[in-house]
């Protein structure tokens, strides 16, 4: 069964210093596991949308949860899906700009710009909206 899993976590370092290693690891591991998705990073917070076979996504999330580079891992959504939203992306990274910040605010108008504070009910739709914005680096 295909699932999607969306989580948010805080970076251990509160900086982008771990991002290159996380992206490299994600690209390799996700390809091997046939997991696709997107990664947002903003002000020390990661939000990731993962999709793939249930066992692969759950195993990957377990590894992420145990990874010391992540703190406060919060599961925002886990549900069955009929098809992938990002079938071609082993992992993509979003560069934040005024346009993507406006999209975030349209889903969370009262929240400060903090991916960890996103309403779980809007996390997946918000990421799909963000994907339509320019500024993605495909990996």
Q: Answer yes or no: CATH 3.30.70.100 is held by domain 2-138.
A: yes
Q: What is the mean pLDDT of each run of 10 residues along the chain (139 residues)?
A: 94 71 81 87 84 96 89 93 85 74 82 77 84 65
Contact predicate 54/3, CB 8 Å: yes
* 132 Cβ neighbours under 8 A, 6+ residues apart: none
What is the reported pTM?
A: 0.81
């Amino acid at each position: 069964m295909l699932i999607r899993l969306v989580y948010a976590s805080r970076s251990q370092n509160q900086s982008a210093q771990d991002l290159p290693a996380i992206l490299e690891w994600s690209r390799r591991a996700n390809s091997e596991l046939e997991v696709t998705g997107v990664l947002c990073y903003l002000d020390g917070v990661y939000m990731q949308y993962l999709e793939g076979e249930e066992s692969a996504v759950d195993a990957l999330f377990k590894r992420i949860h145990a990874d010391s580079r992540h703190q406060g891992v919060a599961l925002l959504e886990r549900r069955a899906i009929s098809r992938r939203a990002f079938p071609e992306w082993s992992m993509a990274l979003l560069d934040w700009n005024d346009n993507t910040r406006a999209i975030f605010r349209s889903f969370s108008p009262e929240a400060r710009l903090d991916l960890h504070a996103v309403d779980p009910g809007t996390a997946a739709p918000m990421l799909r909206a963000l994907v339509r914005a320019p500024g993605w680096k495909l990996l």
